[in-house]
Structure 1
Amino acid sequence: MPAPQFSVRSGAVGTVLALVVALLLTGAPGPASGASAYQVWTAASKTLVVRGTPVTISGSVGPSAAGHTVVLQQYAGRWTSVASAKLSSTSHYSFRKAVPLGSTAFRVTKAASSTRAAGTSKVVRVVGVKPGFSSVTSGPGHTCALKYDHTLWCFGSNFDGQLGLGTTKEVPSLRRIGTSSWLWVKAGWFNTCGVRTDRTMWCTGHNEDGGAIAGPGRDAYHFTQMGTRHDWAEVTPGSYGGCGRTTGQVALCWGKGWHGADGTDTWTPYPVAYANWLRVASGPRGDAQGCGIRLGDLLWCFHENSSLEPSPYVLDSSRWASLESGYGQSCGLHTAKSLWCWGDSTYGQSGPGPTSDTPQHVAAGSWRNASAGYQFSCGVRSDGTAWCWGSNEYGKLGTGSYSPATSHTPLQVGSWTTWAVVDAGYDSACGIRTDGALFCWGMVTAPGEVADPDLPAPTHNHPVRMG
C-alpha cells in the first residue's frame, strides 16, 4: 500500500502551519490497532497557530481507495470523532477545522474493509496561541516586541543597526524582523539581543565594547550569534557588554569590564560565580555590574573586583520574585508582590525616598510587573492598572499631561484595568493589554503620523496603539 500523506495547511493563506508531529512515545495517546498501515508525511515549518485560525487537514490514503470513509478525531482527554469524509476518486481527504487555544491533537482513522486493513495516522499536534503581543522591550529610540506566535516585531531608531535589518534606516512603524522564532528579546543601549527557540543567543546593533557581537569596535547590522551555546533562557545587553542566564541556572557576562579566566576582557559569555541563578539582569549601559535572584529567592548583585572576577554578594535577604535593571536604578517584586526599587532617585525613579543602594518600598498594594527605565520606572498592579513614576519628560509617565515634571509616587497611566505588562524605556514606555494589543507613550511616532527625520519623534502623554 503506498504511503499516505498527511498535512495541515492554513485555510486562509495556504501555507503550512503549526505542526508538531508526535511519534506516540511515552505519555502520548496511543494509536488504534493497525497503525502501521499508515505512514505520515508533513512539511511543518512552524509550531504555533493563532487561536481561531482555520486549518485544512488533508492527505491521501493511496490508490484504489475511492469511496472509503476516513474519520477526523480530536483528543481532549479521549479521542472523539469530530468529522468524517469519503475519499475522492484520487483517494484524497480534506478537513477544515478552527484551532482552539492550547495544544490540540488530531488524527485520521480509516475503518477496515474487505480489501484494506484499518489504519490510523500518526498524531499531529496543533498549538493554538493567543493573537497579539506577549512581551515588549524599549531602548533609546527603538522598541521590539514578541507575538504569541514567537515572531519578532520592531520599530524606531536604527542608526546602529539595532533592529537587525541590515541597514541603518529608521523604521517608523511596527515591522516584522526576519523569519526566525524567538523566546526572549531585550533592547539595550542602541542594540538588541534575544534568544531563539533553539536556545541560541543573537545580538545586533551598537558594539563599541562588545555589547552586540564577540569583540569590540564594529557594529552589527544583522542579528549575529553570540557564542555556540544552545541553552540560553534570558539575556540583557548593554553598551559595554551584557549578562544572561542559561536554562541550567548559570549566570554569564561578557564585554568590556567583564574578565575571563585570563584576567582580560572577555568577548564571549563567561560564568559568574555560584550556581542556581533564577533571574539575571544588567543595566542597558552594561558597566560591569549586574544583579540576580538565586535559589532561595535572595537578591544578589555582582561586579568586577580587584581579583578581576565577578564577585556576587547578597544585596537583600528578602524573598524576591522578579528583577529589572535600568539606567541607574533597579526595580523588582518580592514574592509577596510588593514593589521595591533602589539606585538613583534624582527624579523619583526609585520611589519616595532618596538615592539609595538598598531597596526601598515604592508604593503599597499588590503588583505583577515592575520595569526600570531612564529617569523613570513603571509597573502594573494586580488589578490590571498601569502606573509610572519619576521624570515626565516627553510625557513618558503616560498620565495624559506633561505635568508634573517629576513624581516620586506612582501615577496612573490612563484608566484601563486590562494591562498585562508595561516596559519603561529611555524616552518612552510601552505596554501590552490582556487582549494582546500594544500601546506606547512618550517620544514615539504613532501610526499614521509623518515624522520629520531631521527632528525628534513626536511626543504623546497618553498611550497610543501601535499594533
Structure 2
Amino acid sequence: MLINGGTRMVIVVSVLAACAADDSPMMTTDGLSSIALGTAQSCRLDTDGTARCWGELGLAGATTIAPAPVAVAGTLRFEQLTAYGKMVCGVSADSVASCWGPNDRGQLGLGTIDAGSATPVTVGTSRPFSKIVAGDATSCGINPMGQGLCWGANALGQVGADVGPTDVQSPLPLAGALVMREISVSRDFACGITTAGAAYCWGSNANGQLGGGGAITGQAGDLKRAPQAVIGGHSWRAITTGDQFACGITTAGAAFCWGSGGSGQLGTGATTASSTPAAVAGGHVFTSLDAGRDFTCGTTQSESYCWGANTYGQLGNGDASPASSTMPVVVAGAISFAELRASDGDHVCGISSERTAVYCWGRNELGQLGIGAASNTRTATPTLVTQ
C-alpha cells in the first residue's frame, strides 16, 4: 500500500512481502548476538553476522514501514550493531565501520554533507574500528588502539575534539589522548569510559548531564567541547546516555544516574536534576543498563527493571497509563533477559537469556515493536517479535 502524505511518502510492507524479499531464514540456528534501537526502528544482529531491522526504515521522503524483521541490504556481516534516531551503524569482522541513515550533519563520516544513504556505506577511508556508536546526528567510534573518534553535529561540542562549533564531516580524535573502552552518544552530548574505568562526558551541560558537579544552569551555552571527568570517584564498568541525562554501572554493579530528572529517569525517587552521579534507588546489582529518551531500563541476575516516563507503556510493567515512575519497577512477564535496549523513541526491546527470541514493548505506530502490524495502541508488556 502506498500512502502519499504531502512531502512524505511512506511505503507499508506487509509481513509476507518482507519475508518473500529475504531468502535467508528469519532465525539462525546459532541465535541472537545483540539488538539496537533507533527512534522508530529496531534491529537485531544474529550470531552469523546478519543484521535485520523493522519499523520505519529508509530516508525522509521515502520511508518503508516494515512491521516485521527484514534483512539489511548487501552482503555485509557485522560483529557489532548500534542505532539512534534514524541512524544505524555496524562494525564488520575486518574492523570496517559502516553506517546508513541521514547525512545532513556529516554523521555518516564520509567527508561530505548530503541526504544520506538507505544502505550501508563505509565510514572514513578504510579506518579500522573496534566499536562504533550512533547518536542523533553525531557518531563516535573506538579504534583498536583505544583512541576515541567522533564526527557529525558539533554545535554544542558533542564531537569532543575541542573544535567547533561547525559540524565535522570526517572522524576526529577526542581531545585529551584518552584510551577509551566504551562511548555512548545522545542528542547533544556524549560520555565514555577509559580502560582505567574513569568516566568522561562532553557536549551540552545545560541539565548537568556531564556529571562534573556545580550549578545546573539550563543554558544552551553551558557546554564543554573536550571530555570532562565525571566526579564521584567511582570505577565504571558501563555507561549510557539518554536525552540530557546519563547513567552508569560501577564495577560493583551499582547504578548511578545524573542530568535531567523531570520524568524520574534518574531512578532516585525524585524528579529533580543532578549534576553529580546519584544512586538509583533499590540497591539492585545491575548487569546491564540502557537509557532511552526520558526513561531507563536495566537487568540484574534475576529480574529486569525500568523507570522514568511511561507515556507509551515503555516501562513494561503492565501499566498502560502514562504515569511515570521515579524508582525501578519490575518488567512484567517473568522473562529472563540477556540485555535490554531503550530507544529515544519510547520503546524497548530485549533478548531472552537463551538468545533465541526478541521481545519489545512501548510505542508502535510505525511498526517498531516488530509484532507484525503497526498500531497506536500502547503495548505495556513484553511481546514476542515476529520471527
TM-score (norm 1): 0.65
Q: Which of 157, 176, 185 does residue 56 from structure 2 map onto?
A: 157
Deviation track 1:284-339 (CA, whole Å, cap 9, x = no partner) reads: x2x3x321111321111234999x99422211321000011122221110000111
Alignment of 1:168 onto 2:63: yes
> Which structure 2 residues correspond to residues 59-208 of structure 1 after superposition, within 5 A?
131-160=30-59, 168-178=63-73, 179-208=75-104
Counterpart-to-counterpart distance in 1, 2:347 and 2:93: 28
Alignment of 1:372 onto 2:291: yes
> For the Cα contact (< 8 Å) 2:332–2:382, is it kept in 1?
yes
Which residue does the alignment assign to 1:324?
240
SS at match of 2:312: helix
* Structure 1 pair 450–302 and aligned structure 2 pair: CA distance change class (3 A): closer
> For the Cα contact (< 8 Å) 2:305–2:329, is it kept in 1?
yes
Which residue does the alignment assign to 1:281?
184
Amino acid at match of 1:277: M
Amino acid at match of 2:183: V
Counterpart-to-counterpart distance in 2, 1:260 and 1:408: 35
- Cα deviation for residue 206 of structure 1 reads 2.1
- Cα deviation for residue 267 of structure 1 reads 0.7
> For the Cα contact (< 8 Å) 1:259–1:265, is it kept in 2?
no
Which residue does the alignment assign to 2:198?
298
Alignment of 1:231 onto 2:133: no
Deviation track 1:133-154 (CA, whole Å, cap 9, x = no partner) reads: 2211111110011112221111
- Cα deviation for residue 260 of structure 1 reads 6.7
SS at match of 2:354: coil
Alignment of 1:359 onto 2:277: yes
* Structure 1 pair 253–405 and aligned structure 2 pair: CA distance change class (3 A): same
Gap runs ≥5 in structure 1: 1-48, 52-130
Deviation track 1:88-123 (CA, whole Å, cap 9, x = no partner) reads: xxxxxxxxxxxxxxxxxxxxxxxxxxxxxxxxxxxx
- Cα deviation for residue 262 of structure 1 reads 8.1
Amino acid at match of 2:359: F
Counterpart-to-counterpart distance in 1, 2:94 and 2:228: 32
- Cα deviation for residue 229 of structure 1 reads 3.9
Amino acid at match of 2:199: L
Counterpart-to-counterpart distance in 2, 1:148 and 1:174: 15
> For the Cα contact (< 8 Å) 2:306–2:331, is it kept in 1?
yes
- Cα deviation for residue 216 of structure 1 reads 2.7
> For the Cα contact (< 8 Å) 2:146–2:180, is it kept in 1?
yes
SS at match of 1:227: coil
> For the Cα contact (< 8 Å) 1:209–1:239, is it kept in 2?
no
Amino acid at match of 2:147: V
Which residue does the alignment assign to 2:361?
441
- Cα deviation for residue 202 of structure 1 reads 0.9
Counterpart-to-counterpart distance in 1, 2:135 and 2:102: 9
Q: Which of 311, 327, 334 does residue 416 from structure 1 map onto?
A: 334
> For the Cα contact (< 8 Å) 1:193–1:203, is it kept in 2?
yes
Counterpart-to-counterpart distance in 1, 2:163 and 2:354: 50
Counterpart-to-counterpart distance in 2, 1:333 and 1:195: 24
Counterpart-to-counterpart distance in 2, 1:421 and 1:140: 18
* Structure 1 pair 219–458 and aligned structure 2 pair: CA distance change class (3 A): farther
* Structure 1 pair 245–304 and aligned structure 2 pair: CA distance change class (3 A): farther
Which residue does the alignment assign to 1:345?
261
- Cα deviation for residue 450 of structure 1 reads 3.9
Deviation track 1:401-445 (CA, whole Å, cap 9, x = no partner) reads: 213610000111114252110011122100011111100001234
SS at match of 2:289: strand
Amino acid at match of 1:234: K
The alignment's C-alpha RMSD in Å is 2.7
Counterpart-to-counterpart distance in 2, 1:183 and 1:461: 31
* Structure 1 pair 233–310 and aligned structure 2 pair: CA distance change class (3 A): farther
- Cα deviation for residue 390 of structure 1 reads 0.6
Amino acid at match of 1:399: N
Which residue does the alignment assign to 1:311?
226
Larger radius of gyration: 1
Which residue does the alignment assign to 2:250?
334
- Cα deviation for residue 350 of structure 1 reads 1.2
Alignment of 1:268 onto 2:170: yes
SS at match of 1:218: strand
* Structure 1 pair 457–190 and aligned structure 2 pair: CA distance change class (3 A): farther
- Alignment size in residue pairs: 327
Amino acid at match of 2:289: A
- Cα deviation for residue 160 of structure 1 reads 2.0
Amino acid at match of 1:389: W
Percent identity between matched residues is: 29
Counterpart-to-counterpart distance in 2, 1:458 and 1:230: 44
